[in-house]
Amino acid sequence: MAGKLSIIRQLVPLYLVLFCIACNEAKYLGPGQALYAGNTTKVESSVPITKKQKKEVTGELSGLLRPKLNAKILGWRYKLWIYNISGTPKKDKGFKHWLKYKVGEPPVLATPTLIDKNRAIMQNHLENKGYFKDTVVTDTKVKNKHLTAIYTAQIGWRYTIRKVWFYSDSDALSHRIDTTMRRTMLHKGDPFDLDVVKNERTRIDARLKNKGFYFFSPDYLHYDLDTTVGNHQLDMRMSIKEETPDVARNLYHINNVVVYAQYDIRSDTSLKRAYTTPEGYHILDTAHYLKPVVFRKTLVFKPGNVYKRDDHNLSLSRLVSLGVFKFVKARFEPANDNDTNSLLNAYYYLTPSLKRSIQFETSALTRSDNTTGTEASISWKNRNLMRGAELFTASLYGGLEEQSIGNGLKVATRRAGIDLNLYVPRIISPFNLNTSSAFVPKTRIEAAYDIFDRSDEYTLTSARASFGYVFKNRVTSENAITILGINYVRPTNISPVYRLLLDTNITQARAIERQFIIGPQYNFNYNSQAKPNHRVNNYYFNGNVDLSNNLLGILSGANINKGKEREIFNVPFAQYVRLEADFRHYLSFGKYSTLVSRITGGIGYSYGNSSTMPFVKEFFAGGTNDIRAFRSRALGPGSYNVGDVNRTPAIPDQPGDIKLEANLEYRAKLFSIVRWAIFADAGNVWTLRTDSSRPGSVFTPHFANDIAVGVGTGLRFDLTILVLRLDLAVPVRYPYKQPDGSQWTFNKVTDISDLVLNLAIGYPF
C-alpha cells in the first residue's frame, strides 16, 4: 500500500503540469473559437440488438468522423503545444518555421457546419447499411473553450433482402448478365448493404469485360428497391439503363494487333515498314530490337478472338515481365469495318529500357568485433543479349577486411571473384513445366569463381555453376528450381603454423576442407506484401530443400563409416539432405507502426559419403540479421562456450547442423525519415552428432536450456532507395552458465563490452 501511495505522489505533479498546459491552450484561441477536443458516439436501438452488432455499428460510425483531432499523449496535445509556443515565424523557412509547421500542429476548431456535416455523413451511412428508419442527433459540451461533440444514432430494424431479380431483354448483353447471376453477391436473407451492391455491379462489369463487352460500364446497371413488401424486407430489381449506348451493348472481337517495339513520341506509327507474323501480329521494329518469336510467345490476343479483359491484362503483364521495356501501354479502338460483329484494333506501344548499363558500388564496414573493411564491385548488364529479351549480368568484385584479435595481432582477409548470370525468358527443357501464363518463366544459368585469402594462413578458391528455372504462378509467390548445381572448393597455400593448428582444432580444419557438392535445390517463396495492400495481417514464407549426391552415393555404395569413401576427380563428394524454413508475420497498427514476428530454422543431415555437413552448408547464429546481441556466427553450438577453450580466436565461426530462432520486433516512426524499433531475439545452433572438441554442442530433448536471448533497440533511416539501420543489443540469457551459476543476466550488464552495436543496410527481416 505504501508503494502505491509513493507512485501516486510521484505522478500527481506530472498530471498537474499537463492539466495546466491543457488549460493554457485556450488563451491562443480567438473570440468565439473552441477547440474540437473530443467525440462520443452512441447507438440507441428501438429493437433488440446484440452487443456485437451495437459495437460494430458504433465502430463504423466513429470511423467516419472528421477531421482528425489533435494528437495527444497522456491528455497532452504535444504537437499543438509546439505550434502555440513557436510564435509567428518571420520567414517561410528556417528552424522556427520548420518547428511550427512540420513538427507542430494547428488547432482543430469546432464549428456548427463541421458537426452537422458529420451528422449527415453518419445518417447516410446508416441508410446505406439498410437502417432506413434512423436518425442521428447531436449534442455538444463546452468547457474552457474545449468542445466535445456527442453523436447519437437512433436506429430501428435493418432491412434484409427478400428477392433479387434481373429485368432482361432479348439482346446478347442481357443474356450474358443472366449467366453471371449464378455467382451473385446478393443473397436472400442478407442485410442490405450499398457497398455489396456496388461490388456486385463491379463483378458483373468484370465478367462482361471478359466476354467481349469492351465499352460496358458498371454505371449502366440500375437497381430499384421496393421496401413495401413488409416484415422489414425489400425486393431488388436490376436492369440496364435505357440510356445505355449501343457500343456498350455490342460484343467485340479483335481485328488487328499492332506492336510498336521501339515507340517514342517521335515514332512513325504508319505500318508501311511493319512485318506480319503467322498469327497475324503487325510488328513495327525497324531496328530489329527483338526477334519476332518473342512477341509470338508473349502476346495473348490473336486476330479474330473475342475481347477478354483477362487476356488484355495478361499480355501487359507478360510484356512487363520480359524486363526489356521501360514503358508498356495498350490502346484499343473500334475498327472502321462493316462486319456483322463489332471489331477492335489493339495497339501496343513499347518503349525499350536502356539495353546496356554499368554500375559501380563501393562500401565500408565496421563491426563491434573489431572488424573494419571495404568492398568494391563493378557490374555490367545487358537486358537483350541475343535479341530474345535475355538478361546477362557480369559482376567483378573485391574486398578487404581486417580484424584485431588482441595482443596486437591482426587478421586480414582478402576476397575477390567474378559472377556471371544469364536469364532466358522461357523454359529450356524437354519437359513441360506447368507454369502460370500470367508470368514469363525464366531459365537461369550461373557460373562464378571466388578467391578467399586469409592473411598468411591459407587461400580458398571456389568454382560453382548451376542450371535451373525461376517461375511464378501468382504475384505473391515464386519458385526457383536448380536442376544441377556444382560447387568445388579447394584450399591452397596453407602455412605450416596454421597446419599445426588444424591438427588440434577440427572446426577450423572443416572450414577449409576440400568440398565437391553436386545436386539439385528447390526454393519456394511467398510474400503477401509483394502485392500492395492495406491488410492488418501480412505473411512471408520461404522454404528451401537442398540435396547433394544422394543418388550418386546410393549407386556407388558410398559409406564413409565402413571405409567406402568415393571421390570425383580425387575429391570426396558431399552427401547430405538440408531443409530450411523462414516464416514471418507482419501485424500493422497503422501506416508506420508494425509488430513483426519471425520463426526460422533448419536441419542438415550428412550420411553415406560424408560424416559431417560441408562447412558452407552449415547453420550459424549471431549477427546483424540474426540474434543481434551476439557476435556474428560466434554463438553456440548448444551450451559450448568458445571462451572456455584455449585457442586462437582467428575464426569465430561456430557451425551447427540444426538451427532454431525466434524474433520479435516493434517498428514505429519517430519523425521525418527516422524510424525506431525495439526487439528481442532468441535461438541457437546445435550439432546432430557428438563433437568431442565442442562439449555441450549436441541437440538433446533439453535443447531449451541452450537458448540464447538478446534484447535491444535501434534506429532506421528510411532514405527510400535504401534503409540504414543502427541496432544496439545486449544479451539477457547466455546458453552457458555465468560465473555466478546463472544463465540470465538481467540487471547485470556492467561492462560496455557486453553491448553489441550493429550497423547494416535494410531491415533484418
| pLDDT given at position 747 | 65
Reported as a single tens digit per residue, the pLDDT across 50-75 is: 999 999 999 999 999 999 999 888 78
| pLDDT given at position 4 | 46
| pLDDT given at position 266 | 72
Residue 19 clears pLDDT 80, i.e. is over it? no
Closest to 617 measured CA to CA, from 569, 656, 650: 656
Which span out of 90-99, 366-375, 658-667 was modeled with the highest average pLDDT? 658-667
Sign (positive or negative) of CA dihedral 124, 130, 132, 133: negative
| pLDDT given at position 275 | 86
| pLDDT given at position 451 | 93
DSSP of 171-205: SHHHHHHHHHGGG-S--TTPBP-HHHHHHHHHHHH
Closest to 468 measured CA to CA, from 413, 427, 507, 518: 427
Q: How far apart are CA 110 and CA 117, in angstroms?
A: 12
| pLDDT given at position 7 | 46
Residue 79 clears pLDDT 60, i.e. is over it? yes
Same fold, 252-352 and 435-441+464-761: no
> Grid coordinates 518503349 are at which residue?
351
Residue 46 clears pLDDT 80, i.e. is over it? yes
Reported as a single tens digit per residue, the pLDDT across 582-634 is: 999 999 998 889 999 999 999 999 999 988 888 889 999 998 899 999 888 88
Q: Give whole-number Cα distances, 137 to 61, 65, 134, 612, in Å.
A: 13, 14, 10, 76
| pLDDT given at position 319 | 93
Q: Give whole-number Cα distances, 61 to 120, 135, 407, in Å.
A: 11, 13, 70
CATH of domain 22-70+107-155: 3.10.20.310
Which span out of 7-16, 556-565, 581-590 was modeled with the highest average pLDDT? 581-590
Q: Name the percent of the chain lying above pLDDT 90.
A: 56
Residue 655 clears pLDDT 70, i.e. is over it? yes
Q: Name the CATH topology of 160-249.
A: Ubiquitin-like (UB roll) (3.10.20)
Residue 15 clears pLDDT 80, i.e. is over it? no
Q: How many CA atoms lie within 13 A of 226 on its CB side?
A: 11
Reported as a single tens digit per residue, the pLDDT across 450-478 is: 998 887 788 989 999 999 999 988 889 99
Q: What average pLDDT does the chain have?
A: 87
Contact 613, 576 (CB under 8 A): yes
pLDDT band at 652 (very low <50, low <70, confident <90, very high): low
Reported as a single tens digit per residue, the pLDDT across 522-555 is: 999 999 998 888 899 999 999 999 999 888 888 8
Spell out the CATH class of 252-352: alpha beta
| pLDDT given at position 341 | 65
Beta bridge partners of 240: 221
Spell out the CATH class of 435-441+464-761: mainly beta
**Which tops the pLDDT comparison, 334 or 364?**
334
Residue 88 clears pLDDT 90, i.e. is over it? no
Buried b (16+ CB within 10 A) or exposed e, 472-496: beeebbbbbbbeebebbbebeeeee
Burial of 154 (0-12, 13-18, 19+ CB in 10 A): middle
**Residues listed for the chain:** 765
Q: Give whole-number Cα distances, 434 to 213, 577, 643, in Å.
A: 31, 26, 53
SS3 label, residue 489: strand
Beta bridge partners of 480: 470, 523
> Grid coordinates 559482376 are at which residue?
395
| pLDDT given at position 693 | 81
| pLDDT given at position 365 | 61
Q: How far apart are CA 7 and CA 146, in angstroms?
A: 30
| pLDDT given at position 381 | 95
| pLDDT given at position 274 | 83
Q: How far apart are CA 427 and CA 698, in angstroms?
A: 44
In the chain, where the domains are located: 22-70+107-155, 160-249, 252-352, 435-441+464-761
Q: How far apart are CA 27 and CA 48, in angstroms?
A: 47
pLDDT band at 3 (very low <50, low <70, confident <90, very high): very low
Residue 364 clears pLDDT 70, i.e. is over it? no
Residue 323 clears pLDDT 70, i.e. is over it? yes
Helices (H), ranges, 437-532:
496-502, 506-511
Closest to 602 measured CA to CA, from 653, 520, 658, 545: 658
Contact 319, 298 (CB under 8 A): yes
The beta strand positions in 368-454, using DSSP E, are 371-382, 391-406, 409-424, 442-454
Those residues whose C-beta lies under 8 Å from the C-beta of residue 228, and which sit 6 or more positions away, are none
Element (H, E) at 676: strand 674-686
| pLDDT given at position 207 | 94
Q: 172-180 and 194-209 are packed helices; what angle lies between their axes, rounded to 10 degrees?
A: 120
